[in-house]
Structure 1
Amino acid sequence: MNIRKLSQALIATSAALTAAHVNAAGFQLVEHSASGLGRSFAGEAAVADNASVLARNPAAMSMFDSIAVSGALTYIKPDVYVKGNTGVNALDRALDNEDVVPGAPVPAGYFIQPINDKWAWGFGMFSNFGLSTEYPDDYAAGPIAGQTELITLNLNPNVSYRVNSHFSIGAGLNAVYGTAKLIRNFGSNSPFPASGNAAHLKGDGWGYGWNVGAMWEINPNHRYGISYRSKVDLKFKGDFYSDIPEGLSTNPYGTGGEEIPGKLTLNLPDIFEFSGYNRLNQAVAVHYSYVWTGWSTFQEINATSDGIGSVMQKDEKFSDSYRVSFGATWYLNPEWELRAGMAFDRSPSRTHKTISIPDNDRYNYGLGFTYHLSEQGSLDAGFTYIQGKEGSFNEEGVEFVSKGDAYIVALQYNHSF
């Protein structure tokens, strides 16, 4: 294997190395609430059992007759591995990594206030996209060693309008703030010092979009929700440097340790969701969702610097993906609700897998409950196990195998005034 060739191919920004295995397709996050986690996020645009529905359908705010607030904290614990196969045992062992993705908390908060019997407004703070991966400094393919991190926060004000007793509409604006960090080490097979960075890129930025939704309430026991969230171009500005000597012909990205301005536009996809909620009797309700994500907007990552041009570039060639989920809620008594659900996530990188995003299809299995502390307050808890399929792909003559499972837990408090 040509380590130098592999290094040059992999020095490009890796946007989401196997992070897809710990949440939804690509590097999408669906962990907006503990109540949703317990039902595998089935029916999220229609259930409207607390203020977290704001993240999925603004029209559902019309169902609240008093101020409602919700705060959630989710913790994701992944179990992800990547294995390389070059035909050289010693090198293969150096390419294997059993702990690619670290655990991470995901917070969220929501507020809804009715204005009158027609209008309501609300505000949500949550994340739709994020990732975090870590490799040891001595990983053999040095330019993918190190740390990749993307954190986004969506600030989302919304309004809703009740057209009549059966139909409501809603809309909102999205101001998405993001921070990104990419650190790549030289690795154990590099001629450069192990203490240096092959690439170091860090920055932050904003992107803007919009969302709309509608709710059809046949009666109090049967309703359907539909929503759309626009794509967002997240524009990062920051600094780039590489400890590779400047002007080295075998690697054009070297700056000799000098820091230069860098910028990157990350194309976040649009999201469409249809959900249904049907309460079959006093004790049982079923709910379901179909979510389509326009991942075909994400074709490459290309970081540039003024006067130099591209300093990092890699094709990703994502395809549109979908998620289907089904769940049920058991209303045991006025204090307790139990819920369960399952979901299937289709990978967006099914036609173009790379070491930077070796994404595979996955299944989700969720359990959860709500305990009503009083007429105003309730506590939600949720747990999900994500089972990822094993997938293989070839990049620069190396056969890679990847698989990722994850365990997710969440707590949430809801209060009405």
Structure 2
Amino acid sequence: MRKVSRWKKTIIIGATLLLPQQAYCAGFQLNVQSSAGLGRAFAGDAVIADNASSMARNSATMALFNETALSAGIVSITSMVEVKDALYTREVHSQGALVKTSVRSANYDDAGGNAIAPNIYLIVPINDKFAWGISAYTNFGTKTQYSDDYIASEYGGLSNVESYNLGLSASYRMSEHFSIGAGLDIIASTGKLNRSLQPTGAKLLTIDATGWGLGFNLGAVYELDDNNRFGLSYHYSPEMETEGEVDFAGYLAESGPIDDTVLIPLPDMVEFSGFHHLENSKIALHYSIQWIGWSVFDSLDAETSGTINPYEWQDGWHYAIGATYYLNNAWTLRAGYLYDTSAQDKLTSISVPDSDRQFFSTGFTYQLTSNSNMDFGFTYVLGEDVSVVESKPMLPIDIANGTYLATKINAVSHANAMLIGLQYNRTF
């Protein structure tokens, strides 16, 4: 296999794994583990334990179940990514001299996409002390696509990312008030990326990458009484070893498939949650604070290419508050608000529309039978405008004659999202 320069690998692998997910949460985190959680902006999710999906946020909550519990659901995700006030500059250089400059609009109405995130959970109490459980859900994933004729398609194109988490967890009740939990997480991911150069449509790259890693989680629950409890959880995220084959075709004289292993550091997460069912009331209040260690993603490194791109991300925070209203034996209503801080700091991109975000959520549970119910959750994610300046070094378009192309885009990106979830829960 022929080697490629550092900037090529940066475009290929960095974009493949890290581009579109920011439409939902900062960095490339995707909170779609529970439809009930979706309906309350995930406020209190590390301690509420109203269905088996709670084990995804805190394995210690399994100790709160005295019956076998099953939850299965899907979340529909629609992202809306806009590029506005965008100017795209192209410079043609030949023999070291600037030959031609052109400036065009690079606005784009909707580079978002649609995705479906499934999940399933099973909690099995062994006795009044021990419980175990298995889970399968999505950590990260979405699809973002610019049209084939987008003028700045070396910055846009197709990005399709999917991630799957398979977990095995256990909990132990140490006392009437205190429980602990732990679990292992196997995370697998796939990513596809296409980039081209306009106006010829020449393919700059095609990538199909896969990888996996092993993480773990720890949790604790403290119950003051039946109506008040607190939860604390820690998730260790692995460094993903992502392998892919890249095929450059079209405008480069020397092209061909390249193999490399790229190391993707994922963030650790710590979450604290509280739940309080108000005395002599149908109302419960709940809240969460979550820290996400995105500063670990300082750069993207590969075993062959070394450091291939700086990112210089910063740690992120979630602040969520919500309320549940137990209307009657059949209906439970909920709502919540979450503020999510951006993982990006100074380095931004039109393909990474990351910003501080607000989550506005509502949902309900309908009791089907004495031991089964359905959850519905809806969240609208409102992002902020982000100023973007990106440039590419001189791209060789005619090496023999010393002709190169340099491009630059100045723009404002904005990303919103809508999430709709439906989940079935049953105890045995």
Q: Contact between 2:41 and 2:321, CA under 8 Å: does it hold in 1?
A: yes
> What is the match of residue 399 of structure 2?
none
d(CA) in 1 for partners of 2:145, 2:166: 28
Query: Using the alignment, how far apart are the partners of 1:10 and 1:228 within structure 2?
Result: 31
In 1, Cα distance between equivalents of 2:144 and 2:47: 34
C-alpha distance 204-9 of structure 1, shift in aligned 2 (>3 A): closer
Distance 2:251 2:366 in 1: 61
Do structure 1's residue 49 and structure 2's residue 50 form an aligned pair?
yes
Once the two structures are superposed, what CA deviation does each residue of 1:79-101 show, in whole Å capped at 9, x if it has no partner? 210135338799543x2211112
1:233 paired residue among 233, 239, 255: 239
| Number of positions where the alignment pairs a residue of Structure 1 with one of Structure 2 | 392
Identity fraction in percent: 38
User: How far apart are 1:302 and its partner, in Å?
Assistant: 4.1
1:16-415 pair list within 5 angstroms: 16-21=18-23, 23-83=24-84, 85-86=86-87, 91-93=103-105, 95-188=106-199, 193-194=200-201, 196-244=202-250, 254-255=254-255, 258-281=256-279, 282-302=281-301, 309=305, 313-396=308-391, 398-415=409-426
Unpaired runs of 5+ residues, structure 2, are 1-6, 91-101, 392-407
- Cα distance, 1:238 vs structure 2: 2.6
Contact 1:263/1:303, CA 8 A, preserved across alignment: yes
Structure 2 vs 1, CA of residues 8 and 162 (structure 1 numbering), >3 Å: closer, same or farther? closer
Change (3 A) 1:211 1:265: same
Root mean square deviation, CA, Å: 2.2
* Aligned residue number for residue 3 of structure 1: none
8 Å contact 2:204–2:251 — kept in the other structure?
no
CA distance in 2, matches of 1:232, 1:75: 26
CA contact (8 A) 1:84 1:398 kept: no
Distance 1:279 1:31 in 2: 25
Using the TM superposition, give the Cα deviation of residue 300 of structure 1 relative to its aligned residue in structure 2, in angstroms. 2.5
The answer to whether the 8 Å contact 1:350/1:360 transfers is no
Distance in 2 (alpha carbons) for counterparts of 1:316 and 1:139:
25
Structure 1 residues not aligned, in runs of 5+ = 1-6, 249-253
Q: What CA distance in whole angstroms lies between the structure 2 residues aligned with 1:384 and 1:62?
A: 29
Deviations 1:381-410 (A, max 9, x none): 011111111121322353210111121111
Letter in 2 for 1:177: A
1:212-246 Cα distance to aligned partner (Å, 9 max, x none): 00000001100000000002111112311101466
Deviation at 1:10, TM superposition (A): 7.8
How far did 1:152 drift? 1.0
SS at match of 1:86: strand
AA partner of residue 410 (structure 1) = G
Asked whether the equivalents of residues 350 and 359 of structure 1 are also in contact (C-alpha less than 8 Å), the reply is no
Kindly provide the amino acid, as one letter, of the partner of residue 409 in structure 2. V
Q: Secondary structure at the match of 1:164?
A: coil
Question: What residue identity is the alignment partner of 2:223?
Answer: E
Indicate the larger mover: 392-401 or 67-76. Answer: 392-401
Greater CA drift, 351-360 or 100-109: 351-360
* Rounded Cα–Cα distance in structure 2 between residues aligned with 1:9 and 1:61: 43
Tell me, in whole angstroms, the C-alpha distance in 1 between the residues paired with 2:119 and 2:67: 20
Separation in 2, partners of 1:119, 1:228: 20
Q: State the 1:205 CA deviation.
A: 1.7
Report the 3-state secondary structure (helix = DSSP H, G, I; strand = E; otherwise coil) of the residue aligned with 1:78. strand
